[in-house]
């Protein structure tokens, strides 16, 4: 079963869930606002796909925190992401050992096959 991580009121998450439902693909949704990842879970995400892929540097939270102007280490970036998980690119889809980040219907097609 596919696991979908994101924020319930995010347009990309709504579109992702709609796409999965239209294709009749079973999934479990995790709302990061209500159920934030614990440190170990986020460390696993970062280990598997990297901070650069996971962090949305164009998002509202990134801008609100003024992180463009800061020269943060990987560890400091991780701590920011752990504290502000809405800064994560959405959606994050996980199926077995595979992870897909970002809304891309063509990539979804290949991911679910």
CATH at 107 = 3.40.30.10
Reported confidence tier of residue 56, pLDDT bands at 50, 70, 90 = very high
Q: Using CA atoms, how far apart are residues 24 and 91, in angstroms rounded to an integer?
A: 18
Reply yes or no on whether 13 is catalytic: no
Mean pLDDT of the chain: 95
Dihedral sign, Cα of residue 98, residue 108, residue 102, residue 34: negative
How many other CB atoms are found less than 10 A from the CB of residue 52? 10
Q: CB–CB of 22/54 below 8 Å?
A: no
- Domain extent, residue 86, equals 2-112
Catalytic residue among 2, 4, 7, 10: 10
Whether 47 has a pLDDT exceeding 90, the answer reads yes
Average pLDDT over residues 30-51: 96
Q: How far is it, in rounded angstroms, from Cα 103 to Cα 64? A: 23
Question: For the chain, what is the domain count?
Answer: 1
Tell me how far apart the alpha carbons of residues 27 and 94 are, in angstroms, rounded to a whole number.
10
């Amino acid at each position: 079963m596919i696991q979908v991580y994101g924020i319930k009121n995010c347009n990309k998450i709504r579109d992702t869930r709609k796409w999965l439902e239209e294709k009749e693909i079973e999934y479990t949704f995790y709302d990061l606002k209500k159920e934030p990842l614990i440190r170990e879970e986020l460390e696993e995400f970062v280990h598997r796909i990297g901070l650069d892929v996971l962090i949305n540097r164009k998002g509202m939270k990134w801008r609100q925190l003024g992180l463009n102007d800061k020269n943060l280490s990987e560890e400091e970036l991780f701590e920011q992401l752990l504290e502000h998980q809405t800064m994560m690119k959405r959606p994050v889809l996980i199926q077995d050992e595979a992870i897909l980040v970002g809304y891309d219907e063509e990539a979804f097609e290949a991911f679910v096959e």
